[in-house]
Structure 1
């Protein structure tokens, strides 16, 4: 366990302090903000409702349930584990390049950003892949960029992202699988 935490700290110091450049210093703090990613999700909600009618409405309900499960589960782990964020840890914080506007008071493990984005990403992948094909893989790329940004700006360790991602992938696959078995997005038949 100690070697895993040592690896985690070393990776954090590399991502946050060594593997840096001016473009990422500008881009990654912005990417993790809701005003950037919320329009994507809003577009998906409108797109699905417009194209799939009442099934689209149920898709939105499951999308929101997935998000809520991921967010609440991550909050539980943060409280239970009690790991300090790198930007709050008195031993680490002098070495942290904090690029986020603020450092949250909540715990570090698991990352709610990672859990939420990987959760809804997996839900979208499972439910939309039959309609959008290989483009569905972009949901995971999007979630990974946001997770990486959380480490880059100094508010999470890499293992926080991995834990959040696993939590989100599990929740998204369960909710997406249930949705696909019971409801499934199908085009409305017009007569």
Structure 2
């Protein structure tokens, strides 16, 4: 029996319908990762066709209910984009928060993006979400730096960040290699700017 990873690779180059059936069998056996992979592949294959909306959403929901926090990102994106359903930013944010609470970096980053796009952007709050995403293995270091470099944080907020607390952010900041690298970049930037 092939692994889900092998089936995903095969989906990209092979008989998509056959692979979908094989992954669905895995998903239907109760495998939460299989549910997640099936929903993702079906979403890719269906390309927004409403005929498949119920299955895509159902399998993502089932995966989420079984602990696949990454499914929350997909569900949030579906509601944010209005794919298969009517666009609903509130539902999207709820799914992103569920995923973020489960440690999903993409959900954390999505929340940061939504905060920055909002009417009353709270740059320090968005920055905190981006930083949490980086600590969870996400790839949004540039967004963290851009918020600081664009001058969207005050000198006082940068100082607060340096000691591990950023504004009114409620997310814990974990000090690790990534944080140290960002701190060094900020310090160098502040020295050059002054």
TM-score normalised by the chain length of structure 2: 0.26
Q: Greater RCO between the two (CA within 8 Å, min separation 6)?
A: 1
The structure with the larger Rg is 2
TM-score normalised by length of structure 1: 0.26
